[in-house]
Structure 1
């Protein structure tokens, strides 16, 4: 596992970078010296983030819808044309959920899987040849503690986050010999706007904040821990409060006990 003392001159490409975890990760990477490439759908929002970063002139905003394969290919071409390489790809863009299984339409099931799984897979496949050619690079997936535990109101989201974790494990095994490293981050509750955009059963944004998210970890603290762990070469990174850490521990030691705990937990 490669350990880095700084991100000086490293090119870090972050999806979902206009707000929340992506914005916080961009700030932390910039503080560590990285040249950050910011991607989300809205260019003006990316630019607002970019100008607030340390040394804004060395960072780049590239708007793209990660579910549009042509836009993703074009974004990759732009990054290589401007920066010449990619050192870290942080697949952070995602879509959450707040709905019971019985109330969730199949259209909503597929929409969440498209953003949280298939688009991450395609984005990574697009950038992977660059990493293989360089013989160095790190692919990072922002999964979720929900992808390790599976909780009420988040079935599709939990499934997609678990799926990208398993895909990442396979990728890690396949490219280890080529100098490419793979890390998966499992956030617990972090204070962002993720709840507002979470889909209800009909596929519409929930539009309000959850109590658990409101009381969650500060996004800046989350980003500090994640970037420090990535620089240390860690591959399995859980960042959350004591309850989430306990849940992950119990999931390894006694799945049956975990299931009993989850049944009694208020998670909406």
Structure 2
């Protein structure tokens, strides 16, 4: 812990604070072992970096028998923060999907830069991969942290991935329905999410709600298919199940 901070935005003085910026750290042997295991996970998934703390957590559970409970996850998050401040783990290897921004700065530093961007755009011209297809396909994924990884798989096929974790929102379901209803061809939705009562009920409710909105808009309700996780996949791959949450 650091000494009292005197130059704070609010003017408050704190007797104890967490480390600020980069900071030296001397973890205990068991914590250092955990940091080394995290390094192994990051190396294994180096083509998919950055990863979220939750993704690292699940891989630690599968590869190193790390405890699968919320206390262990909270402990991992704290150690990840300290390890990154101590430069034991690259800062840009972990991402936080809660961070958000809006707006952008637009402009060119010179006419030459503008024409370079025009030439670059011309080189990347392509017709939509979905053009002429009899059905449109989109993917709904429950975990926002997996969005970029799944998109790497679907992008070559021209398939867009949407996070359905926020589909408890009426606005989100209405937006999905408007997108589907505007298409000239039927839509197939491939769903990816946890196999638990909460996740399945959210999917069922979202599928019914979106379909009802689409029908009201005069469109063709989507066909929703469960891609993962399924009961068969749990059996085939020996997937671990999460313990029930304490109430």
TM-score in same-fold range (> 0.5): no
TM-score by length of 2: 0.34
Higher relative contact order (CA 8 A, sep 6+): 1
Q: Between Structure 1 and Structure 2, whose CA radius of gyration is higher?
A: 2
Whose helix proportion is higher, 1 or 2? 1
TM-score by length of 1: 0.32
Whose strand proportion is higher, 1 or 2? 1
